[in-house]
Structure 1
Amino acid sequence: MSILRTSLWLVLPWLGGASLADAGGLSAAGIVVAQAGTAAERSGAARAPSTALRVGVDRLQVEAGRLSDAPEADDAAAVRVSVFALWQPDRTWEWRLGARLDGDSHSGGTSDYTRWRGDLGDTYVRWRGGDTRLTLGAQTIVWGRVDEVPLADRVSRADVTRFVLDKLADRRRSQLALRWEQTLDDWKVDAVALPAFRGAHLPAIDSVWSPINRTTGEVLGIAPSASLAALVASATVREDDGGFGGAAVRITRSGEPFDVGVTLARTRQSLPYYRVDTLAPSFTAVHPFNNFAGVDAEWVTGDVTWRTELGYTHDVPVTLPNTAMAMTNAVEWVGAVEFFPGGADTRVNLQVVARSLRTGTEILELKDYAGLNGEVETAFAQGRWKAALRFARGLNVRDAYIGPKLSFVGWEPHEIYLAGHFFSGEARTLGGFHRDHDMIALGLRTRF
């Protein structure tokens, strides 16, 4: 029995959140793109209660894409539907029921398939009393301060079925949790326990976005080899999650001269480590415990917002040359700047990410990674159109992603968009792994 880990760290600059140190899931190899931890943290802000029952669709997305060079498929399609029912009988209690349906399809290549899957959305009961809030049930909780790659994101459940095609908010799913939030003037304590852990929501093994590519025989983040390719071609892939997911606490303070936060966690990583049995042969996605400590801060100078996070993770699994697993530690840092040149119509968000694995042993993952990622978005034609560009690039390795997007938003809340996703890079990087998966997509997003 040996252990092999798919490295998603470099991916994190693209995947965002599952925490660069989600530490171990799908090991290191990429770059990260953009959606905010700050906004996500504030998403739990109290809403005005209503005795009426509210029912609605909070996400409907339909997309069709064309893959130019992928041997697995020429065409790809996706459907995402999320519905909810919310009841607040008074200011004290809140009841929510959520469900979602996902459909994915590939055609015209070596891995034609169609798959539909249902899942539980945010489904919980919440009690409020003064400055205290208690929530029990399936919840989407994203901690952190920076967009796209919040290191403090230790209790969320990652969704990598579409990999980096969506922003962070759409790459997170609900996780069963008991949450206590306590406000004390400018301070807030946020404590979470995960009684029944569920690992990341993974794509089908035949999907072009799978971290295991049967066509090329590669595993994301791991140096390719003939022996690995032979194993990938014949191995079955299994999932091993469940059990206690751990606990974490986050303490934040808002005020002058800056907002600060501290996060301590012992949780199971959402992204998987692939354990290999060469006799079976099989890959089993497991989710080891990580210990994490991090600090973060945010401040404003003029019209510019600065954000930063620093994290240390103990017990990060890495892969030795003989495919056995070893444990090491990781130090990670993210620095971000957000500003609006020329007014509110244009937004620029830039992030620098860095990670170092503290080991003197030779491993198959990249020991050090530095990258730049971000998003530029602008509105024009009286705000009826938007143009955006998401990008990520490695600074110490050749690794690149670029994602242009043009959207018509004149029929709010509907959005019709044309988007591109283009990858390039060397071995063990996200761009290199997806070098044949460039895609152009036409889609519709809305809610009711």
Structure 2
Amino acid sequence: MRTLALTLSLLLTSFALVNSATASELIDHGRFDRYNDAMQTAENLRAEGRQITVFREPVTRDGFAVQLPYYQLYIAAEWAAMRLQREGFQAWVIPKPESLGYVIQVDIVPTREQVADVRQRLDLLGHRNIRVRPIRWKSYQYFVQETRLEGMPEAIVEAPDAPKPAPEQPEVESFTFGDDSVLTFGKQTDYDTLLVQQDKDPSLRNQGFEVDDFRAEFGFLDAKTGGLVDSSHYGLISMGYRFVSESGFDGRIGLRVDAVRQAPERAVREAEVDYGESFLRYRAGDHKYTVGAQVINWGVLDELAPGNVLATQDLTRYTLDDLTRRYRATPLLRYEGWFDRWKVDVIGLPLFRAAELPEPDSIWFPIDSVTGRIIGLPNDPLLAALVQNSTFETDIEDDHGGGGLRVSHQGRGWDFGFSVQHVRHSLPYFELNPDVRLALLTGTPPNIAPTVTASPTFQAIHPFTDVVSLDFATVWGDTTWRAEVAYLSDVPVTTPDLRVVYAPSAQIGFGMEMFPGDANNRLSMQAGFTHLEPDEPILDREQTAYISGEFEWLFAREAWRLRTRFLSTWSEEGTDYYLNPELAYIRVEPDEFYIGVHIFEGDEGTPGDYHNEHDMFVLGWRTRY
């Protein structure tokens, strides 16, 4: 018994000594908020031959997200984010747009003092659309120790030579924001998870499948006014897959499907498949090389931009959509380079792509073969007889589209740029067949003249023009001011004897954008003037002035959005206007359910007069994710 008791005593003493020695060897190498920082520290210590374990424990973090909202085009937001990165910000574009457009995530900071510092730096750069949202999310804290003791949190155990894993994505259960009150939206969107991906490579954030635009819209016209159409419905799905590689290559494959149904008479039932933005791009530091198809956005104005002649316009729905949805992807070769605050953008168009037009029977086609009218021209019986018996050709021969160079400078609160282009007009201009023209001039009745030839009566043309443009943007007070001017060497026009000639054109536009009241209101207005300088009398309008604008108001805690768009033009021939008020429920973001009205009015011979009977009430659903 004595021997057994002595043996047990020695074993207990040895266990106590070993346990005591083990506890005394516990070394804490720090606590880290970022997974990458913890793993890097662990790898450095393992390289010294130490036995290292990384632990994690759940924490709830509070902070402030500083953002810049209201970028309608992704490429514009990406450009602004790149500018902020050059100023030392961790800026990146949240890939899913909000109800008012894309958002730049400038930074996430823990204190209001740091918020004030970020706001001051943004203010010096000229940004006024700053939004600060208090946020709270569930995350982890990581700490590194040389031993593992029982009762500690779950350990992340790795072999010393194990490859470094990709950063973990926190499993966010809720996201809160507001000023003093807290609104919890749960997992309504992935926006909360995107906010805390600060460790992730920015170039890898926006990859995978994405739906750029999905719409189902029902439109109803008042057929009692004399029109032959009482409904015009529309559907759209635009989607793509974006991929990124660590070698500097990234790209996208895009596809869109447009569906139209118009009834009862002049029925149109069409579903058209088209390519969207599809490209392969290589990034090498401050240089990007792109081949494929992209939406081109040169200049600084949103509506009727004089310097964005390269872009392919979409006229399938006339002005029913805002300008951000009225461009199509253009096949191109592109180089973009950044040199300090200067950017050089060179585009070549190996294939010309004309503007997309609706079906000839559509009420949005610029020529009405039923009534015999052409948009922008007065209602004339002789013209009506000619148009009603004519054929129209919109197809063109394959040809290159030219190209252009734009150089821009990004300053502190002011930007400017200039471009030179040799391009073809995207918008079609219809030229009268020479044989038909000769028949008309020799007295052949308009309803008979089209029969003198088997060729189309009118042919769409897209002549080349040389373009020089200048643009400028600055901030004064709480308002962003923009200006743009362009000179086009050859614009097609028609003489009284029905010949097509070319005249130079000068175009100028001014714009302003402000956020009256608070960040939930946005007002944008633009005004411009176009002047043609022909060598002989023409039938086209020589001088045209316009004013356009958009006002957006979010209310009921950002659950509803009231938006009103308008466009009005003046010339010697008359005045017209277009008005589009819309009310949308946006609480179930990114889905929007909306009702709206499109109203057209104008003097005889104006576009508003041409669409006078096309006032339309719409209701629909749109989303992007």
Q: TM-score, normalised by structure 2?
A: 0.64
In structure 2, C-alpha distance between the alignment counterparts of 1:425 and 1:179, rounded to whole Å = 41
Contact in 1 for aligned 2:73/2:324 (Cα 8 Å) = no
In structure 1, C-alpha distance between the alignment counterparts of 2:507 and 2:390, rounded to whole Å = 33
Contact in 1 for aligned 2:601/2:609 (Cα 8 Å) = yes
Deviation (angstroms), 1:308: 0.4
Mean Cα deviation higher: 52-61 or 202-211 = 52-61
Q: Does 1:250 align with 2:378?
A: no
1:272-314 deviation line (CA, Å, top 9, x unaligned): 0112223345222121111110111000011111000011110
Mean Cα deviation higher: 165-174 or 215-224 = 215-224
Aligned CA distance change for structure 1 residues 382 and 52 (closer, same or farther; 3 Å)? closer
In structure 2, C-alpha distance between the alignment counterparts of 1:154 and 1:70, rounded to whole Å = 37
Contact in 2 for aligned 1:37/1:146 (Cα 8 Å) = no
Q: Does 1:175 align with 2:336?
A: no
Deviation (angstroms), 1:395: 3.9
Q: Give matches, 1:143-154, under 5 Å.
A: 143-154=298-309
Contact in 1 for aligned 2:313/2:426 (Cα 8 Å) = yes
Deviation (angstroms), 1:344: 1.3
Deviation (angstroms), 1:241: 4.6
Which amino acid in structure 1 is aligned with residue 618 of structure 2? A
How many residue pairs align between the two structures? 413
Q: Give matches, 1:124-273, under 5 Å.
A: 124-238=279-393, 239-256=395-412, 258-273=414-429
Deviation (angstroms), 1:224: 3.4
Deviation (angstroms), 1:103: 0.5
In structure 2, C-alpha distance between the alignment counterparts of 1:307 and 1:120, rounded to whole Å = 32
Q: Give matches, 1:270-285, under 5 Å.
A: 270-277=426-433, 278=436, 279=453, 280-285=455-460
Match of 1:54 in 2: 208
In structure 2, C-alpha distance between the alignment counterparts of 1:432 and 1:161, rounded to whole Å = 19
Q: Does 1:336 align with 2:511?
A: yes
Deviation (angstroms), 1:90: 1.4
1:427 to 573, 588, 604: 604
1:246-292 deviation line (CA, Å, top 9, x unaligned): 01111100114621110110101111011222334522212111111
1:323-374 deviation line (CA, Å, top 9, x unaligned): 1101111111101111111111111111111111012522111111112111
Greater helix share, structure number = 2
1:60-100 deviation line (CA, Å, top 9, x unaligned): 11100001146231011101111211110215100211111
In structure 1, C-alpha distance between the alignment counterparts of 2:205 and 2:619, rounded to whole Å = 40
Which amino acid in structure 2 is aligned with residue 77 of structure 1? H
In structure 2, C-alpha distance between the alignment counterparts of 1:221 and 1:72, rounded to whole Å = 21
Contact in 2 for aligned 1:223/1:364 (Cα 8 Å) = no
Greater strand share, structure number = 1
Contact in 2 for aligned 1:423/1:435 (Cα 8 Å) = yes
Which amino acid in structure 1 is aligned with residue 252 of structure 2? R
Q: Does 1:405 align with 2:582?
A: yes
Which amino acid in structure 2 is aligned with residue 229 of structure 1? A
In structure 2, C-alpha distance between the alignment counterparts of 1:291 and 1:236, rounded to whole Å = 31
Aligned CA distance change for structure 1 residues 38 and 308 (closer, same or farther; 3 Å)? farther
Q: Does 1:418 align with 2:595?
A: yes
Q: Does 1:74 align with 2:230?
A: yes
Contact in 2 for aligned 1:76/1:104 (Cα 8 Å) = yes
Percent of aligned pairs with the same residue? 33
1:297 to 472, 475, 480: 472
Aligned CA distance change for structure 1 residues 40 and 374 (closer, same or farther; 3 Å)? farther
Mean Cα deviation higher: 48-57 or 355-364 = 48-57
Mean Cα deviation higher: 311-320 or 225-234 = 225-234
SS state at 2:297 partner: coil
Which amino acid in structure 1 is aligned with residue 405 of structure 2? V
Q: Does 1:357 align with 2:513?
A: no
Contact in 1 for aligned 2:280/2:292 (Cα 8 Å) = yes
Aligned CA distance change for structure 1 residues 389 and 372 (closer, same or farther; 3 Å)? same
Mean Cα deviation higher: 70-79 or 122-131 = 70-79
1:112-164 deviation line (CA, Å, top 9, x unaligned): 12011100111110000011000000111111101112211122111110110
Which amino acid in structure 2 is aligned with residue 167 of structure 1? D
In structure 2, C-alpha distance between the alignment counterparts of 1:52 and 1:83, rounded to whole Å = 14
Contact in 1 for aligned 2:479/2:513 (Cα 8 Å) = yes
1:204-228 deviation line (CA, Å, top 9, x unaligned): 0010100011222111223432232
Contact in 2 for aligned 1:36/1:168 (Cα 8 Å) = no
In structure 2, C-alpha distance between the alignment counterparts of 1:324 and 1:400, rounded to whole Å = 30
1:192-244 deviation line (CA, Å, top 9, x unaligned): 00001110110000101000112221112234322321222122222215211
Contact in 2 for aligned 1:257/1:299 (Cα 8 Å) = yes
Contact in 2 for aligned 1:65/1:441 (Cα 8 Å) = yes
Match of 1:326 in 2: 501
Contact in 2 for aligned 1:83/1:99 (Cα 8 Å) = yes
Provide structure 2 residue ranges, at least 5 long, that are not aligned to the other structure.
1-69, 83-91, 93-201, 437-452
Deviation (angstroms), 1:53: 5.9
1:373-425 deviation line (CA, Å, top 9, x unaligned): 11111110000100011112224431111111101101000011111111111
In structure 1, C-alpha distance between the alignment counterparts of 2:460 and 2:78, rounded to whole Å = 31
1:92 to 231, 238, 248: 248
Contact in 2 for aligned 1:269/1:290 (Cα 8 Å) = yes
Contact in 2 for aligned 1:52/1:89 (Cα 8 Å) = no
In structure 2, C-alpha distance between the alignment counterparts of 1:369 and 1:284, rounded to whole Å = 25
Aligned CA distance change for structure 1 residues 83 and 403 (closer, same or farther; 3 Å)? same
In structure 1, C-alpha distance between the alignment counterparts of 2:585 and 2:206, rounded to whole Å = 33
Q: TM-score, normalised by structure 1?
A: 0.88
In structure 1, C-alpha distance between the alignment counterparts of 2:73 and 2:624, rounded to whole Å = 23
1:171-202 deviation line (CA, Å, top 9, x unaligned): 11111100100100110000100001110110
Contact in 2 for aligned 1:196/1:245 (Cα 8 Å) = yes
Which amino acid in structure 2 is aligned with residue 394 of structure 1? T
SS state at 1:49 partner: helix
In structure 1, C-alpha distance between the alignment counterparts of 2:276 and 2:456, rounded to whole Å = 35
In structure 2, C-alpha distance between the alignment counterparts of 1:244 and 1:408, rounded to whole Å = 44
Deviation (angstroms), 1:42: 4.1
Contact in 1 for aligned 2:72/2:324 (Cα 8 Å) = no
Mean Cα deviation higher: 69-78 or 243-252 = 69-78
Match of 1:103 in 2: 259
Which amino acid in structure 2 is aligned with residue 371 of structure 1? Y
Backbone CA RMSD of aligned residues: 1.9
